[in-house]
Amino acid sequence: VVIVVLFRDHNSKQRERNQYKQRKALLTTQSPPTVSLTVMAKYAYAPLQIDQNRRGNQGGSSGNNLSGMMMSSSNNNNSNIPSQADKDDGNDQLVQERMPMCVAICVLLAIVFVLSKGSGDIDLQAQQQLQQQQQHSLRSMDTPQVGATAATATTATTTASGHHSEVYPKPGMVQQQDLVDMNMVPEAAPDSLAAASTTTVNTATIETPPVASCPDCPTCPEPTTTTTTTTPNILDDPNALMAKLRQDALDSTPPHIIECSSAEAGESQDACHLPKSERYTALGQKGATLWMTGCSGAGKTTIATALEDLLVKHHGKHVYRLDGDNLRTGLNRDLTFTEADRAESVRRTGELATLFSDAGVITLVGLISPYRGDRDLVRKRHEDQGIPFYEIFLDVPIDELKARDPKGQYARVDSGELKHFTCIDDPYEEPLDPEITLKTHELKIEESAKILLQRLEKDGILMGPPKVTPPGLPNPDGDLLVDLLVSPTEAPSKQAEAATLPKVLLTDIDLNWLQTVAEGWAAPLTGFMREGILLETLHFNSLLVDPFNITGNGDKLTTKTKFEDFNPHRPNHRVSMPIPITLSLTEFTKDSIEESGKQDVALVTRMGKMIAILRNVEIYENRKEEIVTRMFGAIDMGHPYIKNIYAGGDYLIGGEIELLERIVYNDGLDQWRKTVTELLQEFDDKGADTVYAFQTRNPTHAGHAYLMKSAGEDLKRQGYENPVLWLSPLGGWTKSDDVPLDVRVKQHEEVLKMGTDHPGGLDPASTVMSIWPAPMVYAGPTEVQFHAKSRRCAGASYFVVGRDPAGMKGSMEAVAHQDDDLYDGNHGRYVLQNSPGIEDMKMLSFVKVMYDVTDNVMKVPDESRMDDFISISGTKMRLLARNGAVPCSATDIPTDLVEANCIPSGFMVPDGWDLVVDYYKNIDNTTRWIPWSQPHVDPPAAEGTVSTGSFGFSTFAMQNVGSASFWHDIEYMPSAYKADKGIINMVTEIPMYMAAKMEVDKSSPGNPIIQDSNKDGSPRYYTYGTPFFNYGLIPQTWEDPDLKTGLFGGDNDPIDVMELGSTSLKMGSVTPCRVLGSMELIDEGEMDHKILCISLSDPDASRIHNMDDLEAVKPGYIAKIVHWWKYYKTSDGKDVNSLGSETPRTVDQALQVLEEVHHRWRSLCGLDGTRRTALSSHTDGFWLASQGCRA
């Protein structure tokens, strides 16, 4: 069939007029063979409300559009056509309005011609008669018909839905053979044709013209019917004929019509449409088709309706349901129930579902669709378009269907009233490999709907962006996995770059937060918060994000905050972000960064390790009071984390993280520290179809185990096949009276070892234990939102939450609730359930459990026998553990456990209880436990040294192997430089960039280097910034408290020395160093001299011999040194230090000081004959028994 599509060219009117003449002549002269056709009811294609005056001028009839289109006059004169074309441009519109009808007639003629060419059974005489009939029929279109034919011509059809549509008029005709209309009305004789024509689909036939021509007669005679007897063929069956027409048209149509210039013929036309990824991301869901097939009454519509209700009302998704009823009202109203029409129904519905799903709609199709091949074609159509397709087989026995019989159809079949009923006496081909099979006679409606919902959740259909997690697990917030660890090949160059950047000091709590962000627990965050992101967090507990740049805000989280230049389009997605994750710095560090002129900084741990780079930094004011009040909603200066915030610097720094190496703590627990990526892989390895997280801050007893196992069983009842428990102990900073991390983790290990053999055990096959890295902040309802959000980022869909999550008692400094809960115990769960950005994560609440003495199991108490249950609170458990309680008799459990000092055997796994007892009995031995995740690293030790204990903790000590004492046995001046009095030996205590405050222990044997302590016994660290110098002592010196400089005596220590080179020295190293000058620090009433020197091995040593050289080679360096010593204690809440002079002393002045303190050391050791009794009482307890001190 050749279809000519006409495009109107307003610049070529004459050519169009000629073509119009040719088409008119063609229509009035050609006579293609004619066959009996069943013609569908027509709908208006082009505007039909044409000005009636123009119709009258052209001699057309308002009741007959075809006659107007042909422009015929009553005298059959065609000369009016050119004259119409010569009129003004207004008439061009008339032609354009009527052009679709001309094209339709051309298409009709072409179809008839093809059919006639394929019908070899019609003899020549019949063919000629049919040609004459068609010629007459076409010519008669110029004249309105009368009688029955006129009535047919003006018929309008009203659909079952009440929609009124115009029907293009057709001349009344008599069938060549008796045909049945497409809606399966009874066979009609020719006399009943007029009545049949009023149905939804009209039957048109071809007439034999009268001998006399109608224009020559005053009244048209009654038509005469000529019946041609032919061999039965496809023309005898109108349904088969239409099926053949449709199939021929489909076969001759290319699979892809070119939709735009960007696409190629026969190829996908995706280039002509908005990309699916962008559409789906913007909509927040993916398109998919759920094709429900099964016998009548299996529940297709019922289940689809229930699923639609769930998806739309509970999840806010765009869903539409297609089934036989709403399709046959319109799209498929012309189809019967023949095999061919059923196939066409499936094809049309499949095409419609493909379009809907391509548009992002979750399309629910409920069709019997009995033939497997038809369904497979629909599947292939979806697969070709890259659209998810789910074939859902509703598998219900026939007896059950007959028992249901919602429409009474099976009863009619049994009575013989209905024939050819699918699944009874017409075939139904069951799916061979459906995505889902539902035996709906065994399931409740809501259960079937939930199964389908869970499959959509599992496959990521309910989320717009691509799924980046294993099936069944949620995407992280922002829908992108965050893993900021640089690749091994990049690490060396990044480390080298970090060495050249300004340094920002990380506390151990900062290190916890760095791990939290870098491993993906705080997605979509990729760095410490910028100012705008912090404001959103404080005010909304959430962020607006656009990770896929749908609204042009793709870089919102990674660009510097702008307060005057806003994107006019807001990001389209909100994610939970309730806790500020910030990095504070002092003015000293801020100035160092700004003076460097660099946009990136290196992040350095307190042990001096360069662990990360922070890119494109943004520095802004640390508004501590605003952060605290909005974050905590409480005023309590004794709150431990509030103290931490106020102890921070006056500025915050934001930027994006590049983690240079994986964060490990070397505390024996790293095997339980897993990144988000590793956790997701472990969940996948266990075949999890959902994950529920249980956070622990205490040892796990049988009550906890009961709650965890009950939650798993409940999830299975909801339809999950393999829910996996995530046992998630808190790993970051916790307050001092919480159970230490190592005690909890080791107790959990025993719980997993015991498995299901004990009521307090957990099945390791369905449990994953992994430490959560973030610090606790004890912010109650605000914090619990972050606990849930970060677990979802690692794959959890459910979070178990108890009473007063993340809460604590107020301190005695609290304005309200002193020594009482800061937050109402019910608020946390309520806020969590309704928090913004929580998405579809679901909460599992704690229930009260008690110990059942009848079976030694913790469970929900039975109200009918409460005497059989005893309560074991956390307070009682801690008291029993401190008292070393032993197991009670299994058959005689006392009601007063404390008095009996026993613990029921089913309360906790035995070895786990032993660990808890051991901890509470030795709770005061703080050096034995690992309270939270703090780095245990090897010291940057020099050769010839040996260390014991943990570096950075009070147990650490470093000895010099070659001599008994760092203080007494190393020479004051190196022997090789005796002639140069300006060269001294320096023993490095604190290497460059290391914030751990180390010092020589004057009292212990061998005078080892140890960790300095605060007054409360905690390890001391610099907090003002990273030291930009190496720091240590000059051996064989002593600043005597009795030696006064003005009003101030010495600080009773070896004299301090600052090495000002560019290379970090090893701890315990002995380095020859050229004296450049000195400073005098007045510190808490003592005169503390600081010798300034440069290592002889430093690259700049040959150019720097005094302070003037230092300033010339390193401009601003002296001012930086002065600033450090004046302000370095202010970050600890102390006052500004005073200096004897802000101008460093000269080399000669410094050497004079050195001579004096060396002489005082000799007196201390009695090397000049001074008796010990003559020395200051401050020397009591000094270890002076070394070889160098007694020589």
Which residues are annotated as catalytic? 369
Quick one: which of 1069, 1060, 1054 has its CA closest to 1153?
1054
User: What DSSP element (H or E) covers 989?
Assistant: strand 983-990
Q: Is 806 buried (19+), middle (13-18) or exposed (0-12) by CB count in 10 A?
A: buried
Residue 996 DSSP label: B
DSSP per-residue codes, 1068-1080 = T-EEEEEEEEEEE
Distance CA 451, CA 307 (A): 9
Measured CA to CA in angstroms, residue 606 lies from 515, 609, 640, 934 at distances of 15, 7, 20, 11
End-to-end CA distance of the chain: 118
Find out whether 382 and 346 touch, Cβ atoms under 8 Å.
Answer: no
| Bond prior to 805 in cis (omega within 30° of 0) | no
Dihedrals φ, ψ of 471, to 5°? -55, 135
DSSP per-residue codes, 286-345 = --EEEEEE-STTSSHHHHHHHHHHIIIIIT---EEEEEHHHHHTTTTTT--SSHHHHHHH
User: What DSSP element (H or E) covers 362?
Assistant: strand 362-366
Residue 40 DSSP label: P
Torsion of CA 345, 348, 350, 352, to 10 degrees: -140
In the block, tokens 């003037």 appear at 1108
Find out whether 841 and 792 touch, Cβ atoms under 8 Å.
Answer: yes
Helix, strand or coil, per DSSP, at residue 110: helix
Residue 543: both structure tokens together: 């962020």
Find out whether 528 and 614 touch, Cβ atoms under 8 Å.
Answer: yes
Distance CA 657, CA 513 (A): 11
Q: Is 705 buried (19+), middle (13-18) or exposed (0-12) by CB count in 10 A?
A: buried
β-pairing, 850-852 with 869-870?
Answer: antiparallel
Amino acid letter, residue 1080: E
Find out whether 396 and 448 touch, Cβ atoms under 8 Å.
Answer: no
Tally Cβ neighbours within 10 Å of residue 570. 12
Quick one: which of 1051, 1044, 1103, 1094 has its CA closest to 1074?
1094
Residue 1135 DSSP label: P
Amino acid letter, residue 709: K
Distance CA 533, CA 374 (A): 53
Find out whether 21 and 29 touch, Cβ atoms under 8 Å.
Answer: no
Quick one: which of 285, 441, 426 has its CA closest to 362?
285
Find out whether 776 and 733 touch, Cβ atoms under 8 Å.
Answer: yes
Find out whether 817 and 865 touch, Cβ atoms under 8 Å.
Answer: no
Distance CA 1094, CA 982 (A): 11
Distance CA 276, CA 466 (A): 10
Return the HEC string of 440-487: CCCCCHHHHHHHHHHHHHHCCCCCCCCCCCCCCCCCCHHHCCCCCECC
Quick one: which of 64, 241, 70, 243 has its CA closest to 167?
64
- Determine the Cα angle at 167 with ends 166 and 168, to 5°: 115
